[in-house]
Amino acid sequence: MKIKVKLLLVVSIILILSACSSNTGEEKGAADNGVGNDGKYEKVSKYDKLLQNAERSLNRDDLEEAKDTYMEAREHEGGNELDVKIDNLEAFIPLAEDALFDYLINVGDKEYQVLLHAEDFEHTTASLDDGTAWACAAEGDEVYEGDYSIFTRERSQTTFTEHYLGESYINKDRDPVQTVEYDDGQLLVLAECQASSGSEMELYSIVDDGMEQVSFILEDETRDSIISSYNMIKDYNPSENKFQSISYNNMNGIYTISNFTFDVDANEMIYDESFELDDVEGSIDEWVDRQSDFYFEIVEKKEKLKKQQKQQFADDLAGYWTEDVQDGGPGTMVFKITSEELMWAVLNSGNAGYGEISSLDINIDKKQIIINTVDGDTMKVSEFGKGKMTVDDTTFRKVTKEEMQDIIGSYQTVDELFDAEKIKEIQEFNR
């Protein structure tokens, strides 16, 4: 009896352990099935790896390596798409190898490879012996004359564009290809020497991944280029798209500094203003080296000129003035104006006035002067210049003291008429 009980107990324990083991296995199996639902991992294909490597080679301008990698990728898949890339590179690589200039230009977040290339050109080393040295080619300069184009490729792509330039005379020793900065990128500059006037400067910008020429919008015309006596256009304030050029007139010895603003959307260089300087030689080296610009000098000169012009207006205002009538005489209004006083009188009428001048408001462009007095009165002078002025729609002309005496007549002198104290008494009496 005891043996049966013990045997039954052992069997029960085994059954319980078996059940627990079974449940644990089911839970583990359920967990394994959940992980398996993520699917099988995927490796990057050989084809995709080759495409990535080809793009890296493009961005390093290792075009042969890029072409070979595309050809290897084509053996796996790719078809016509890769055929186009390979054909593009086979056409572009010889252009890059033979290009006279090879530049990188940044626009926004893209980089472009820019080539200056000629299918056929004539190379000359300028020499006095054979007559090839001249104003635009010093002894030993390397000169290339040919039929040129600009080829442009966005560095991560194989596609490229051509902008045809035509016949050009390029002196490699005269810095004929340059770049200048603007707010969001760079412009390409082509400079071609002109014997008597400096260099003809053309600008080109990247538009829709291709090269387009920038137009110069001047005051009364549109041009494809401008002349620069110092073979450059300076990006003196790139953050505001501001540019500057200098031209020299050898007829009058005057330097003209012209300021432009680049309109990115219109692809135009807009003329802002220009200034003339008698001499720039003391600053030109720093300007050419892009260490300075003439902006502040120009503003200072312009303000100084305005100040001089205003002073000239004030000087011209001082003196004797009479109504612009034939003979003068009774009823004629006359003025005496100094830097401190304004006096007027109507001849033989008993009317006169005086004002102590406090300031002059001068508008050179409008040819206008506002005379302000200490008492708060004003007199507006318009159409001022060439010895005439207009006050209250009446025209006055400037005369000498002797001429004023003739207008007054013999009954009193000019000094007696414009006696400040007497005029003040008349003015006070008439109030």
* Domain extent at residue 56: 46-87
Residues 6+ apart with CB under 8 A from 76: 45, 46, 47, 50
pLDDT digits (tens, 9 = 90+) for 355-394: 999 999 999 889 999 999 999 999 999 999 999 999 999 9
Grouping H, G, I as helix, E, B as strand and the rest as coil, residue 179 is strand
Q: Is the pLDDT of residue 68 over 90?
A: yes
The structure tokens 């400079």 sit at: 191
Q: How confident is the model at residue 300 (pLDDT cuts 50, 70, 90)?
A: low
Are the C-beta atoms of 358 and 374 separated by less than 8 Å? yes
Same domain for 246 and 320, yes or no, is no
In a domain, 13, yes or no: no
Q: Are residues 248 and 345 in the same domain?
A: no
Query: What integer pLDDT is reported at residue 91 of this predicted model?
Result: 96
Q: What is the pLDDT of residues 262-276, one digit of tens each?
A: 999 999 999 998 877
- Averaged pLDDT, 50-70: 92
Tell me the mean pLDDT in the region 52-79.
89
Does 372 lie in the same domain as 254?
no
Predicted confidence (pLDDT) at residue 15 exceeds the cutoff of 70: no
pLDDT 10s digits, 87-115: 999 999 999 999 999 999 999 999 999 99
Whether residue 29 lies inside any domain: the answer is: no
Q: Which comes out higher in pLDDT, residue 214 or 330?
A: 214
The whole-number average pLDDT for the span 47-62 is 90
pLDDT band, residue 20 (cuts 50/70/90): very low
How confident is the model at residue 61, as a pLDDT?
A: 86
Is residue 31 situated within a structural domain? no
Higher pLDDT, 15 or 243: 243
**Do residue 65 and residue 193 come from a single domain?**
no
pLDDT of residue 287: 62
The total of structural domains in the chain comes to 3
Tell me the three-class secondary structure of 191-251, residue by residue: EEEECCCEEEEEEEEEECCEEEECEEECCCCEECCEEECCCCCEEEEHHHCEEEEEEEECC
Checking if the pLDDT of 348 tops 60, the result is: yes
